[in-house]
Amino acid sequence: MSTGATRIVALDGPSGSGKSTVARKVAARLGWRYVDTGASYRAATLAALRAGVDLDDADAVLASVRTARIELSTDPEQPGTWLDGEDISDAIRGPEVTSAVSAVSAVPAVRAHLVELQRVLAGRDGAVLEGRDIATAVMPDAQVKVYLDASPQVRASRRAAEQHAGVTPGGSPASLVSTVAEDLARRDRLDSSRAADPLRPSPDAVHLDSSQLDAAAVVDLVLDLARDAGLVS
Ligand code: DC
């Protein structure tokens, strides 16, 4: 087992690739912290929206984010996000935040501010971080780097099923899938084309495609990588 640097598994990829589920399960299996960096960008976005600032005004966005108290649970069994003490775990998944988050996360100074928070949250005893730039920017020294992807169709179906859960068990209407597919394509485009730490695979990341794999199979592959890297016995 490695004894030097903090043990880190970095899991990057686009929305709907399954990385949140996998990251949580891997962290739970290892007894490590779980850091959902997307939730920190979503919380920052809600802070900016509530402050009523113009999202094109980078200085105003940064000021609203800096004054906000953003807190994340790192317990993979009980994830949660708070803004100034209020539980915003559900609010940050809503359409308002989802459509504004790419603009807020494109501001370099907002990223620098949140990366600092993400590194503190990771602690020193082992953590699984998931996001878009973990391997390239947040934790470039992570011992395990995984880039998880899936076909656009599979990703859209998964996200639509999450949004539709509990309404019509067993499937999502085609219209919802196509709306979600459009939103994912828009965010992929924005997240991959921004100047500051865009979504792109780290050259040293292991690529996994989850289109044909369930979460349990991907979790096992990531745990194998952690073992191969000497992070766990
Ligand atoms: O993973 P998610 O869908 O909750 O992320 C929401 C947005 O946050 C995503 O569209 C891009 C941004 N993000 C980012 O820029 N960098 C990260 N490490 C994580 C998320």
pLDDT, mean of residues 216-227: 97
- Atom nearest to 12 CA in ligand 1: 18
Q: What is the DSSP letter of 229?
A: T
What are the boundaries of each domain within the chain? 8-227
Asked if residue 164 has pLDDT above 60, the reply is yes
Residue type, 121: L
In short, whether 155's Cβ falls inside 6 Å of ligand 1 is: no
Asked if residue 171 has pLDDT above 90, the reply is no
Give the Cα separation of 43 and 49 in Å (integer).
10
pLDDT at 172: 65
CB of 188 closer than 8 Å to CB of 199: yes
pLDDT at 211: 93
In short, whether 126's Cβ falls inside 6 Å of ligand 1 is: no
Q: Whose C-alpha lies nearest to ligand 1, atom 3? A: 15
Q: Whose C-alpha lies nearest to ligand 1, atom 14? A: 132
Give the Cα separation of 207 and 135 in Å (integer).
12
Summarize pLDDT for 64-117 with one digit per residue, the tens. Answer: 999 999 999 999 999 999 999 999 999 999 999 999 999 999 999 999 999 999
Q: How many CB atoms lie within 10 A of CB 221?
A: 18
**Band (170; pLDDT cuts 50, 70, 90):** low
Q: 8-227: which CATH number, 3.30.70.20, 1.10.287.610, 3.40.50.720, 3.40.50.300? A: 3.40.50.300
Give the Cα separation of 114 and 131 in Å (integer).
12
Asked if residue 2 has pLDDT above 50, the reply is no
- Atom nearest to 187 CA in ligand 1: 10
The DSSP result for 123-184, as a single string, is -SS-EEEEESSIIIII-TT-SEEEEEE--HHHHHHHHHHHHHTTTSTT---HHHHHHHHHHH
| pTM as predicted | 0.93
**Which one is predicted more confidently, 189 or 44?**
44
